[in-house]
Amino acid sequence: MAIITIETTPIKGQKPGTSGLRKKTAVFREPGYLENFVQCIFDGVGGGAGKTYVVGGDGRFFNTEAIGTIMRIAAANGAAQLIIGQDGVLSTPAVSNLIRKYRTDGGIILSASHNPGGESGDFGIKFNMPNGGPAPERVTDAIYARTQEIAAYRIIDDAPIDISVIGDFTLGNMQISVIDPVTDYEALMRELFDFDAIKALFARGFTVCFDAMHAVTGPYAKRILEGTLGAPTGSVINGTPSPDFGGGHPDPHPVWASQLVEIMTGAHAPDFGAASDGDGDRNMIIGKGPDGFVSPSDSLALLTAYAHLAPAYSGGLAGVARSMPTSQAVDIVAKRLGIPCYETPTGWKFFGNLLDDGKATLCGEESAGTGSDHVREKDGLWAVLLWLNILARDGRDICQLRSDHWHDFGRNYYSRHDYENVPTEAADALMAKVRSRLSNLPGTVMCGMKIESADDFAYLDPVDGSLTERQGVRVQFGDGSRVVMRLSGTGTQGATLRVYLERFVEPGGELNEDTQIALAAVIEAAEMIAEIVKHTGRTKADIIT
């Protein structure tokens, strides 16, 4: 083995966001680009010498090649061992589990989550910490600082080893363990859930359709749902990961999982539908019929209310946490349960301290992310299994459970309007204008609703005391309704303005309206507050969830 030092220059615009570094695949394939960034990761985390890391990705185009490069750079930086999923495949929650279970020094995840893959799609790379969670800002800042000053990277001249074969290998002085991607993850799920109850549910004829969207959860869902739990073969659709996700957009959202929606609204709809995203951390839950889609905010509230039916949570929850834009439905459940509910900035990493410190057991985001203290990432298949465990023990179907919940706790109508690829200057100008108006809003009446408070969300972490500011504008109305606005941190083209709209209807209130109609006054108020049409030239959002 020879270590080669290759001179390089800083590359501009490499700032890793909340979910690591995401770029067009073509950018990652430019000579030296990936090498440069991987070297900066090792430099930014204090060097790779003697360390053990988990490495895996969602199987998208360039995954295997990138892992080959990472192993050659890791060996040149003196790493002791890499644990790699067979064929380079590991879901994001599975990486988190492996880091924790084998007490490694962290992990590298290759994914651009739900963004399309392929040669003209997106690619991404993210570093996770020894607790299994995404790197906090101080670490991503250190990595970024290195990208601005890097002069050389180190790589060995040996060819990468073949990761299609399970076993232990050496590359230079480094050990490489290629492992089965599903085994450890399944063992964890078995600890958390009542597999016998779910097995019995399927044995009674309960049917499910899980859409893996040609992405990483295919092998996990097939093994666990169809294999261990006995769901009929064919319950998992699009279950073979493909480098470009079958040409699709692996986002578990009614728009992109339209095949699943069609199945769930069809004549032979199964009892339960679910989907997960590119890297397996997001989930979508859908019951039978035209109104079957369970909004992620409602899903979090329902899981909080019924988690005690699963063995891992039978002793109750220490607390729950939701990202600021997520609806306040879970707050109401937490209050009833007498447990704290934390409101954090957008991005899973903000839940890390609450989970590590035992303050929160369940966490969720409106963007289809739900998880618990079992790992330090959101976990798509975990959410599906918790739902199945609850349904198996409770006996009601999804839609009945949800309507009973609304009847009991009230309903938080909720929708997110996304304006995509807005010119950055226009989006910044809109946010600046809204921020400048905030102090004048409280006390005014808008569209028949009195504004109670308006602020730019700042989060004081109760564990480490760190303050994270400017996390998005919140306008709270007296009747429990709310408008939230922020710019996406994960878009790869222009700016994405996200407008989150919420209206609370007390138990017993009118519940049979269409969500957008129920939210009409809040939508109108959002336009009055932000003048979206004027700033963006758009009269309608691109994506309405």
Is-catalytic flag, 295?
no
Mention every residue, 6+ apart, whose C-beta is less than 8 A from residue 184. Answer: 94, 97, 98, 101
Between residues 52 and 496, which has the closer beta carbon with respect to ligand G1P? 496
Question: What is the closest distance, in whole angstroms, from the C-beta atom of residue 96 to ligand G1P in the complex?
Answer: 14
Active-site pick, 113, 327, 367, 372: 113
Judged by CB under 6 A, which of 488, 495, 497, 525 binds ligand G1P? 488
**What tokens does 441 get?**
């809003």
Per CB under 6 A, 186 contacts ligand G1P = no
Between residues 411 and 498, which has the closer beta carbon with respect to ligand G1P? 498
Q: Which residues bind to Zn ion, rule: CB under 5 A?
A: 113, 277, 279, 281-282
For residue 276, the partner it binds in Zn ion, ligand G1P, none, with Cβ less than 5 to 8 A by kind, is: none
State which residue has the least CB distance to ligand G1P: 488
CA 338, 342, 348, 353 torsion-angle sign: negative
Per CB under 6 A, 489 contacts ligand G1P = yes
Provide the edge-to-edge strand list for the sheet that holds 81-89.
Answer: 21-24, 122-128, 107-110, 52-57, 81-89, 174-179, 167-171
For residue 502, the partner it binds in ligand G1P, Zn ion, none, with Cβ less than 5 to 8 A by kind, is: none
Strands 208-211 and 272-276: parallel
Draw the binding track, 91-120, toward ligand G1P (x: CB under 6 A; -: no contact).
----------------------x-------
Residue 35 CA, distance from chain mean position: 26
Query: Is the Cβ–Cβ distance between 417 and 530 less than 8 Å?
Result: no
For residue 367, the partner it binds in ligand G1P, Zn ion, none, with Cβ less than 5 to 8 A by kind, is: ligand G1P
Draw the binding track, 321-360, toward ligand G1P (x: CB under 6 A; -: no contact).
--x----------------------xxx------------
In angstroms, what is the C-alpha Rg of the chain?
Answer: 23
Query: Is the Cβ–Cβ distance between 379 and 502 less than 8 Å?
Result: no
Amino acid identity, residue 270? P
CA dist., res. 325 & res. 505, Å (int): 18
Between residues 106 and 278, which has the closer beta carbon with respect to Zn ion? 278
Residue 306 CA, distance from chain mean position: 22
CA dist., res. 133 & res. 19, Å (int): 11
For residue 347, the partner it binds in ligand G1P, Zn ion, none, with Cβ less than 5 to 8 A by kind, is: ligand G1P
Per CB under 6 A, 299 contacts ligand G1P = no
CA dist., res. 248 & res. 278, Å (int): 10
Stretch that binds ligand G1P, among 51-59, 308-316, 362-370, 397-405 (CB under 6 A): 362-370
Query: Is the Cβ–Cβ distance between 123 and 110 less than 8 Å?
Result: yes
Question: What is the closest distance, in whole angstroms, from the C-beta atom of residue 324 to ligand G1P in the complex?
Answer: 10
For residue 277, the partner it binds in ligand G1P, Zn ion, none, with Cβ less than 5 to 8 A by kind, is: Zn ion
CA dist., res. 213 & res. 217, Å (int): 8
CA dist., res. 238 & res. 430, Å (int): 40
Question: What is the closest distance, in whole angstroms, from the C-beta atom of residue 489 to ligand G1P in the complex?
Answer: 4
Contact positions vs ligand G1P (CB under 6 A)? 18-19, 113, 323, 346-348, 365, 367, 369, 488-490, 498
Residues belonging to the active site? 113
